[in-house]
Every structure is written in C-alpha cells, then in structure tokens.
Amino acid sequence: MPVITCIDDLKRMHKARTPRMFYDYAESGSYTEQTFRENTSDFQKVRLRQKVAVDMSNRNIASDMIGMPVTMPVGLAPVGLTGMQRADGEIKAARAAEKFGVPFCLSTMSICSIEDVAALTTKPFMFQLYVMKDQEFLENIIGRAKAAGCSALVLTLDLQILGQRHKDLKNGLSAPPKLTPSSIADLATRWRWGMEMLRTKRRFFGNIVGHAKGVTDTANLASWTAEQFDPQLDWQKIARIRDMWGGKLVLKGILDADDARIAADFGADAIVVSNHGGRQLDGALSSIRVLPEIVEAVGDRIEIHLDSGIRSGQDVLKALALGAHATWIGRAFVHGLGAMGEAGVTAALEVIRKELDISMALCGERDIHNVGRHNVFVPAAWQDEYA
C-alpha cells in the first residue's frame, strides 16, 4: 500500500485510476474557476500563530455537530455521482465515515439510493435535498429519507439554477458514461474501474430512476433533471419543506450575512457557509473569506459550519479559529475514494485528523473547543477590500 501523507497523494492516484469525465466532475468549477481556485488559495492566506513552552499532552479534537458526537468536527459533504468515482462509492464513503465517527451526508444526485446506503450501514446518515418542481417527487423523497432514519435534512439553497461547468459539457458527462470513441479510449486505460462497475447494479441516479414519474432510463433522466431544479425556491417554500420534514434542518449555501440572519430567524439547526465548491456563482468570494462576517452576524444564534476549499487539517483548524463550529469535506474524501475506495476515504480522514491534531498542538491548544481567533493571523485587506 502506498504511503499517504497528504490529500494531494490521493488526488494523483484518483486522477490516474478514474475516467477523466468523473475526475473532472470532481476537480472543477464553473466558468473561469476563479472561486474554485480561491477557495483553496484564500485558506493559505490565513496564517497560524505558533506558541511554545506549553503543555501539549492529552489533546482532544472530539466535538459535536448539530447535537451528534463526532471524533473530529469534519463531515463528509454531499457529492453527486460519488458512485461513479468508484463502484458503490456512496456506500463505501458512508461506511468509512461510520467507522471513523464522523457524519456522512448523501446527495440527492447520488448513484446509490437512500435505501441502498441505509441497508448497508448501521448508523443514521444525513440526506441532502435539491428542491425539484415535481411536488410528488419532493414529498416522496423526503418521506424516503424519514423512513431510512436520516438524522438531518441538509437543504441546498444555491442550486436553483445549474451553473455551467465547461469540463462537464466538453466531456459529455453522464452516468453511466456514454460510449463514444474518446470515452472508450479513456475507459480502456481504467480497466480496474470498469471491472468494479460491471460487478455492481448501481450505475444510475438511484434516488431518481424508478422514483420520479416517467424516469425509467438515462434518456428520461437527462430530460427530467434538465428542467426540474426549482428556480422559484424561496423562504416560504423552505418553510413548507421544514414542516414536511419535521426534524433537524441544515441550510447549505449561505454566503451572505443578511441571508445568514434570515436563516437564524427561520429556526434552522445549522447553516453551511458554502459556495458549492466554486461550482455555481463564479466570482463569488471564498467561503473562508466570508466566514468572519457571517460569524459576526449570527455566531451567537446558530451553529455555523463551513465547506468549500478544505484540503487539510490545517484548513479545518483555520475555519474553526475563524468561528466555524464544524466543517465539511467534499473533494478531499472523493480523491481518497477514487484512489483506493473505502480505504482511501479512511486515509483522507486520517490525514486530516493528524494534521488537525498536530497543528492545534503547535498553536498551543489541547482542546478543539479552545481554538479561536487568537490562533490565527488574517489579512488586514479582508476587512474592507470588498466593502
């Protein structure tokens, strides 16, 4: 087994072992990819404050996320098509998260269905919802998440209209992949991926095919999804979904202090400061850059999580220092999954845990709950450059 020391090690393996269209799906943003790039580069601008001659023994990075104990404040974010990065990918990722003691959130656009994951795991997982125009489908999928015992509903707010990702269009992204001369040539070099896919029946969007009216194959699916994301999603509809769900609710895609205030007034259990990994509004500020403003606005009223850009335990530490209660990783665990399956997801989590633990200690902290603004330096320009 190769020695894995950082997420980039897994990323290189992922690129070599997974068909290009699915690697590019994970490792890309919309339009010019400015926001996609700055999600990571802005983390590098936040510097850690080193402390010495302090007791660094008996450290604790365990915490909680919306009332659930976790071994570290990091969850596996909902990522579409995870089951195309590796056969049965969502199940493998959920199992790794379960064994590690961190949350897993299943995407509406997953390959493995809610029922597939529930049948092959033992602990509750969260479910992420995209709001579709089809009311019958919407009510049905919320009911299915309830029946599966999902611990929280993560409602994504920043994908009412699909952002354009050039690589997906040029690669002809589909699940399963359409056989063209270029895709066949690419698949021929990833034969292990293909052999695994041939051994599973889960190759379509499991939450949609057979559940949405008239969607029985990939041809129906493409036309259905193209017109189903609801551009009229507003706070009234969100309230109806909250009442329909009746459980813990997380609002994902908050990038503005006013929206954060509305979410806090709304009574959500948590918000996720997120720009969809740079895959929606290109040119938006990075998640880490807007986090302090949102913490200042609502940090004493609602649990604040952050995703988009986290590639290391140091990134997690910086987000916590700037006021996030918890974080979510997407590409970091997907790189592990594409590289080595379930073992790769575990490897990604281990990398992040070790980096978080050691970096916290070198900042002079022994308990994750004591990490705060005093542990970091933040660029002065961030305070007023875009005011």
List the beta bridge partners of residue 69.
64
β pairing state of 68-70 and 63-65: antiparallel
**192 labeled binding residue:** no
Return the half-sphere exposure (C-beta side, CA atoms, 13 A cut-off) of residue 21.
Answer: 22
The verdict on whether residue 174 carries a ligand-binding annotation is no
Residues forming beta bridges with residue 326, ordered by sequence position: 305
Tell whether residue 252 is among the known ligand binding residues. yes
- Per the annotation, does 128 bind a ligand? yes
Measured CA to CA, the distance from residue 368 to residue 371 in angstroms comes to 6
Nearest CA-CA partner of 218 in 173, 254, 249: 173
369 is in an annotated binding site: no
Residue 323 and residue 280 in contact, taking contact as beta carbons nearer than 8 Å: no
Q: Is 107 labelled as part of a ligand binding site?
A: yes
- Annotated binding residue at 144? no
Nearest CA-CA partner of 127 in 142, 112, 116? 142
d(CA 155, CA 232): 15
- Residue 80 annotated as lining a ligand binding site: yes
**Which residues are tagged catalytic?**
276
Question: Any binding-site annotation on 130?
Answer: yes
78 is in an annotated binding site: yes
Q: What is d(CA 108, CA 387) in angstroms, rounded to the nearest whole number?
A: 36
Check whether 20 is labelled as a binding-site residue: no
Which residues carry a binding-site annotation for glyoxylate?
A: 25, 165, 276, 279
Which residues carry a binding-site annotation for FMN?
A: 78-80, 107, 128, 130, 156, 252, 274, 307-311, 330-331
Which residues carry a binding-site annotation?
A: 25, 78-80, 107, 128, 130, 156, 165, 252, 274, 276, 279, 307-311, 330-331
